[in-house]
């Protein structure tokens, strides 16, 4: 099998409202869509969501890099996933989000060629997955309204974005906990917004409020600080921005810096290295979460396949499409409340609607 044609799409999806985290605010999902066609009429689809404030990529820089990446892959065997990805990395180190879109499309082709759903191709089985839903930074009153709405929908856990300042963040969590009661776990995420002293103080204040974990309390490079916070906190610590690839995973394990890993395909460069990260975590006794940026149900479906195939993935944060003003994907995962159901069709089992595709800027490499 040979790659004959690659289409690159500027995959813009409007949001219902702007979403704010400690690192910045986004108003639209400005993603990258990759379609890889082969000489055996098998097509693979992949999506990347470049959060510039986290991965250092924008849609524009990603599409420029994707043009070069696509030219490198024309004529290659798409079933040689490692060979294709090695070619991309050697030519253009970095750009994990853009590379993840190609990685996803290659795995889609491979699983379709094997006539297996992706989770089965990855050696796993179909498991029950339940996502949380995220509350973004706002006033305590608005965040309480969101928490009550999410609880009413039957959420098993609520994720709360923090990372502004000590008093305001404690007030936010206190208001939400008082409103929803004690039973529903709260998952917090500071997105690097605190320093060690502030993080320790916040976590000490909220530690008895059924807080399941705290993601990335401090700057990504401060591994010693993460270890210090972990040692003093009753709230488990999860690495997000400190964990891009398998090299980061080894360092975090060696330093005993965190309790959990958050794996995101847009950070890891795709499924290929995500499998390595999870293997390292599993060997070290560190459970993982599968997380998201602002992907559509296309990439979220690939993430769900990955999570289903690896039992060490214990937490699921696959709610990005809840914020999208429209859904351009057919097939893919479906949600019953917060329960996720995977498709049984070969490959990822999701594609972008052809009518929506016609509205997108496209570049073709053949």
SS (H, E, C) 240-265: CCCCCCHHHHHHHHHCCCCCEEEECH
Q: What is the pLDDT of residue 27?
A: 84
Instruction: Kindly give the pairing relationship between strand 24-38 and strand 43-48.
Output: antiparallel
96-113 vs 297-309: helix axis angle to the nearest 10? 70
Q: What is the pLDDT of residue 20?
A: 85
Q: What is the pLDDT of residue 125?
A: 96
Which of 2, 153, 159, 161 is the catalytic position?
A: 161
Annotated binding site for Mg(2+): 189, 215, 240
CATH topology of domain 3-115+352-365: Enolase-like; domain 1 (3.30.390)
> Is 264 in the active site?
yes
Q: Rounded distance, CA 153 to CA 232, Å?
A: 35
pLDDT tens sequence across 297-350 = 999 999 999 999 999 999 999 999 999 999 999 999 999 999 999 999 999 999
Q: Which of 272, 321, 324, 273 is nearest to 299 (CA)?
A: 321
Q: What is the pLDDT of residue 51?
A: 87
Which of 112, 159, 264, 303 is the catalytic position?
A: 264
> Is 276 in the active site?
no
Q: What is the pLDDT of residue 359?
A: 96
CA dihedral 60, 66, 67, 69 (to 10 degrees): 150
Q: What is the pLDDT of residue 26?
A: 85
Q: Rounded distance, CA 203 to CA 316, Å?
A: 22
Q: What is the pLDDT of residue 53?
A: 83
Tell me how many degrees the CA angle 283-287-289 measures, rounded to the nearest 5. Answer: 130
The DSSP 8-state label assigned to residue 142 in this structure reads: H
Q: Rounded distance, CA 26 to CA 15, Å?
A: 9
- Tell which CATH classification among 2.60.120.10, 3.40.50.720, 3.20.20.120, 3.30.420.40 matches the domain 120-351: 3.20.20.120
* Burial class of residue 116, CB neighbours in 10 A (0-12, 13-18, 19+): middle
> CB of 42 within 8 A of CB of 33?
no
With a cut of 50, list the residues of the chain below it in pLDDT.
none
Instruction: Kindly give the pairing relationship between strand 329-331 and strand 350-352.
Output: antiparallel
Annotated binding site: 189, 215, 240
Domain ranges, ordered by start, for the chain: 3-115+352-365, 120-351
pLDDT tens sequence across 16-25 = 998 889 888 8
Residues β-bridged to residue 30: 12
Q: For residue 254, what are the CA distances in angstroms to 49, 264, 276, 280?
A: 30, 21, 16, 11
Tokens 């996502």 belong to 131
Q: Which of 343, 244, 353, 261 is nearest to 300 (CA)?
A: 343
Per DSSP, the residues of 262-305 read EE-HHHHTSHHHHHHHHHHHHHHT--EEE--SS--HHHHHHHHH
> CB of 110 within 8 A of CB of 81?
yes
Q: Count H helices and E strands in the chain, helices first.
A: 14, 17
* Burial class of residue 193, CB neighbours in 10 A (0-12, 13-18, 19+): buried
Q: What is the pLDDT of residue 219?
A: 97
Tokens of 244: 């891009």
């Amino acid at each position: 099998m040979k790659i004959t044609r690659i289409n690159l799409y500027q995959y813009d999806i409007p949001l219902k409202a702007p979403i704010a985290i400690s690192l910045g605010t986004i108003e639209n999902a400005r993603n990258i869509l990759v379609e890889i066609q082969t000489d055996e009429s098998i097509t693979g689809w992949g999506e990347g969501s470049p959060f510039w404030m986290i991965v250092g990529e924008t849609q524009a820089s990603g599409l420029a890099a994707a043009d070069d990446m696509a030219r490198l892959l024309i004529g290659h065997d798409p079933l040689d996933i490692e060979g294709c990805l090695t070619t991309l990395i050697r030519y253009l180190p970095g750009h994990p989000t853009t590379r993840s879109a190609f990685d996803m499309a290659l795995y889609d082709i491979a699983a379709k060629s094997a006539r297996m759903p992706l989770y089965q191709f990855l050696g796993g089985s179909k498991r029950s997955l339940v996502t949380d839903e995220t509350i973004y930074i706002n006033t305590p009153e608005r965040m309480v309204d969101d928490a009550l709405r999410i609880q009413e929908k039957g959420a098993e856990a609520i994720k709360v974005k923090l990372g502004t300042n000590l008093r305001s963040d404690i007030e936010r969590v206190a208001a939400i906990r008082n409103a929803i009661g004690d039973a529903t776990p709260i998952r917090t995420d500071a997105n690097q917004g605190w320093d060690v002293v502030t993080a320790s103080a916040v976590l000490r204040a909220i530690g008895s409020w059924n807080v399941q974990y705290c993601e990335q309390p401090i700057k990504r490079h401060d591994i010693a600080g993460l270890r210090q916070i972990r040692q003093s906190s009753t709230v488990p610590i999860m690495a997000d921005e400190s964990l891009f690839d398998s090299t980061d995973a080894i360092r975090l394990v060696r330093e005993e810096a965190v309790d959990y890993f958050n794996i995101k395909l847009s950070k890891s460069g795709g499924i290929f290295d995500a499998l390595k990260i999870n293997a390292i975590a599993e060997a070290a006794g560190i459970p993982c979460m599968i997380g998201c940026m602002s992907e559509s149900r296309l990439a979220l479906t690939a993430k769900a396949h990955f999570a289903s195939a690896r039992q060490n993935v214990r937490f699921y944060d696959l709610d990005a499409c809840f914020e999208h003003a429209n859904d351009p994907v057919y097939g893919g995962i479906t949600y019953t409340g917060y329960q996720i159901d995977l498709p049984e069709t070969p490959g990822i089992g999701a594609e972008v609607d052809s009518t929506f595709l016609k509205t997108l800027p496209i570049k073709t490499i053949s």
